[in-house]
A and B are shown apart, each in its own frame.
Chain A
Amino acid sequence: MTDSTHPLPNDIPQVQMQGWGHYLRFSTDHKVIGVQYLFTTFLFFLMAGLLAMIIRAELLTPASNVVDRPFYNGLFTLHGTMMIFLWVIPSLVGLANYLVPLMIGADDMAFPRLNAIAFWILPPAGLLLVSSFFLPHGSAQAGWWSYPPISLQLPSGQPINGEVFWIVSLFLIGVSSIMGGVNFITTIVWMRAPGMTFFRLPIFVWTVLSAQLLQLFCLPALTGALILLFFDLALGTHFFDPLENGDPIIYQHLFWFYSHPAVYVMALPAFGIFSEIIPAFSRSPLFGYRSVALASFGIAVVSVTVWVHHMFASATPGWMRLLFMASSMLVAVFTGIKVFAWTATVWKSKLHLETPMLFALAGVVMFVFAGITGVMLAAVPFDLHVNNTYFVVGHFHYVVYNTITMAIFAAIYYWFPKITGHLYSEGWGKLHFWLTLVGANLAFFPMHPLGLQGMVRRISSYPPEYQSWNVVASLGGFLLGVSVLPFIANIIVSWMSGLPAPRNPWHATGLEWATTSPPPEKNFDETPVVRRPPYDYGDPKVTVTEGQNS
């Protein structure tokens, strides 16, 4: 057996021209499923982005003059639901699907067929949600939180309505996520190659492990809430109806018990992506590997205890407000460990600023901003002012777009040669980066001053004094729409006719770079044996040959 932590010199394999057909069929190969996830979720990303641009068009002017109000409510409800449950979470699942078995030296996921089933639930569930736009009374219109009683009131007595579609769709996505979670945990615990101990796992695997643990133990709370909401909506019970002795606060608790950790289900793998890319392009080991790995778990554990900070303005007693303020702020300590580690990795290194690194560094910087506004929001007195205003919307978009979506783009560029066997075009990638960076900040920064001034979220018309910042945000939003065009062009053209990629175009460590690009069906020709710590960057001459310096 060879030591495969360090790839052999960059031999260019024969690139077999595989057809596109196998991406459209039921396949149990984790690599095919990973690409299927990425492709499907990107389509939903485009759709949800389109909804966002209609929202921004409406908000160009103070009056409600682009779409009617119920339609606007449907727009932001489905924009939020789709972006979270059909883009950010599943696209990261797609990346993890592709990468985790490769990174731990396994030939596939633990349960390949379950993996395929989990994926194939997603397209019908998503289409169900989108199709609710064509119902006579429209899609769900209660926001992505779907708080009762407003979510129970909207469907106007029809047994088939947008809200039912929303519940069923989310339930199905939840089932798919649980299947994925079981699979990831089992894969990471059982399928590691010989010598791949926990403290030799790449950080991306650590973050997937902690994110999927959160999915497994928090998402069922949302499932429970959805079951009860469905009973209220379709079968006439009154669990959440305050006028009939029910209690809407219980829904809020159950909803946020999942939906706050859901943010870390999204953010943790993004942190993992940063932790892969930044050392590779700094040519330095990740500073403080162990503390970064454990901080992932710290974030996961603490994030289960902070959900009430979404309900500070709700019926939350004072002691609860202060308790959850303190726990929410502790999240900053663990994310801080990661940010400091990335900064120390970059310091005095040899930086290569290719597209993945640009996306990663910009993502880290904007994440620092989002983290600071996050700590502000945890402070109860300030939150009572900006809760449910655009300040929260701005903070949230700095997390999910300017951090996590930047990380997803970084990851797609970084592993594109591995996935496709072709090199992408660096120039188009940089154009995509700059358009995204400018667009994202133009679109989401103005939301902070708007929120401070008291502009409430989810309104389709607003007092005229808020207009100037809204125009900036809308222009940024349209620019973001334009920014994906070079990305799409780059991906299609490079996949079809890009230069063939070597095994390890970035001279990175990690098992995924030790196999061919794209990897063979069972990933490795022989099971790799791991003998070195991760992120073992250094002089290639020293590290590549085994045993020379031991």
Chain B
Amino acid sequence: MRHIPLDERPIRYDRWIDRLPRWLQRFLPKGGGTAKDHHGKGMFGVTVFLLSESVVFLSLIFAYSALKATTADWLPAGVKGPEVSTFVVINTVVLLSSSAVIQLAERAIKKERLTRFRLLWSLTVLMGSYFLVGQAIEWSQAEFGLRTSIGSSAFYVLTGFHGLHVLVGVLLQLTMLGRSLIPHNYDDGHFGINATTLFWHFVDALWVVLFTIIYVW
């Protein structure tokens, strides 16, 4: 017969979490029995999902880079590839600064300044839509089609997949804008807004990477 002591040690898990920066703490549970923290759970889930989604981009970027490094005829001779132009730069600046705008909107809702939130949030929607329209113009003006060569196909797949994410982001933002008109919508917190904001930052950060490898490289 064996002596089994009860293990009564406190859960030490909290202590190192307290040392983390605030924004990171938002994504990590404190102690056991946090099942009722729906906001924290939700944000954690969204973060995990975005990390996973970034691997899809990573695999496409890997395919893009490997093909570009080894393919002889990346684009046919005489065809102008994607280049850094004023148009593209303005488009990029608009998309990236929309990250700051959406952050301000999130802060506004936290302070319960609903009108200010709606204004800033609508501005983000406009900026996102501007980027999408700009992308469409760039596609229509390109000298190459989807099937012209490996390089052109890769360009359309990569920018198209990112554009799809921007579109989803804009649709999410419109949904959140519509829901902000429902009375008492924010009685249970702002999970939808926080999640959309995080998603939007993710989409913008990806654009920095894609811009570098598509236009600069």
Asked if A527 CB lies within 8 Å of chain B CBs, one says yes
In the assembled complex, the Cα of A202 lies from the Cα of B66 at a distance in Å of 42
What CA separation (Å) do A178 and B13 show in the bound complex? 27
Given A106, A191, A223, A246, which contacts B67 in the complex, CB threshold below 8 Å?
A: A246
Q: Which of B7, B31, B67, B161 has the most CB of A within 10 A?
A: B7
Which residues of B1-24 are within 8 A (CB) of A?
1-8, 11, 13
Q: Provide the residues of chain B in CB contact with A107, threshold 8 Å.
A: 35
Instruction: Indicate if the CB atoms of B52 and A192 lie closer than 8 Å.
Output: no
Shortest Cβ distance from B34 into A: residue: A190
**Interface pair B4/A186, CB less than 8 Å apart:** no
- Bound-state CA distance A219–B55 (Å) is 8
Interface size on A, residues (CB 8 A): 60
Does B154 interact with chain A (Cβ within 8 Å)? yes
The chain B residue sitting closest to A236, CB to CB, is: B147
- Nearest A-chain residue to B46, judged by Cβ: A182
Count of chain B residues with a beta carbon within 8 Å of a chain A beta carbon = 51
Judge whether A39 is part of the interface by a CB distance below 8 angstroms. no
Are B59 and A220 touching (Cβ within 8 A)?
Answer: yes
> Is A531 a contact partner of B7 (Cβ separation < 8 A)?
yes
B188 at interface (Cβ–Cβ under 8 A)? no
The interface-forming segment of A72-80, A128-136, A382-390, A534-542 is: A534-542
Compute how far the CA of A225 lies from the CA of B35 in the bound complex, rounded to whole angstroms.
Answer: 37
- In the assembled complex, which residues on chain B have CB atoms less than 8 Å from the CB atom of A549? 3-5
Q: Are B41 and A220 in contact (CB under 8 A)?
A: no
Interface residues of A in 85-113 (CB under 8 A from B): 106-107, 110-111
Closest to B31 in A: A194
B60 engages A182 (CB within 8 Å) = no
| Stretch in B69-77, B95-103, B133-141 with 4+ CB within 8 Å of A | B69-77
B88 → chain A, closest Cβ, in Å?
23
Identify which of A25-33, A145-153, A237-245 touches chain B: A237-245
With A182-B45, A190-B41, A254-B63: A237-B5 Cβ-Cβ less than 8 Å: no
Closest chain-B Cβ to A509's Cβ sits at a distance in Å of 11
By the criterion CB–CB under 8 Å, are A238 and B32 in contact?
no
Q: Is B59 within 8 A of A532, CB to CB?
A: no
Q: Which of A218, A227, A542 has a CB less than 8 Å from the CB of B4? A: A542
- The 8 A CB mask of A215-228 against B (1 = contact, 0 = none) is 01111110111011
- Do B41 and A216 touch (CB < 8 A)? no
Q: 0/1 per residue, B37-66, Cβ < 8 Å to A?
A: 100111011001101111111111011001
A254 touches B62 (CB 8 A): yes
A198 vs B13: C-alpha distance in the bound complex, in angstroms? 9
Which B residues lie within 8 Å of A253 (CB)?
Answer: 62, 66
- Docked-complex contact B73 and A190, CB < 8 angstroms: no
B153 and A231 form a contact (CB under 8 A): yes
Cα–Cα, bound, A131→B9 (Å): 56
Give A221 to B59 CA distance when docked, in angstroms. Answer: 5
Whether A238 and B60, one on each chain, are in contact in the complex, defined by CB atoms closer than 8 angstroms, is no
Which residues does chain A contribute within 8 Å of B147, judged by CB atoms?
Answer: 235-238
Give chain B nearest CB distance to A68 CB in angstroms.
34
- Does B55 contact A221, Cβ atoms closer than 8 Å? yes
Does chain B have a CB within 8 A of A546? yes
B192 interface residue per 8 A CB criterion? no
Question: Which 4 residue pairs across A and B have the least CB separation, nearest first?
Answer: A224-B59, A220-B55, A237-B153, A194-B33
Using A216-B52, A530-B32, A546-B6 as known contacts, list a sample of 18 further A-B pairs with CB atoms less than 8 Å apart, ordered by residue number in A: A106-B35, A183-B45, A190-B29, A190-B34, A197-B32, A224-B58, A224-B60, A224-B62, A236-B146, A237-B147, A237-B150, A239-B153, A239-B154, A247-B66, A247-B67, A247-B71, A532-B4, A549-B4
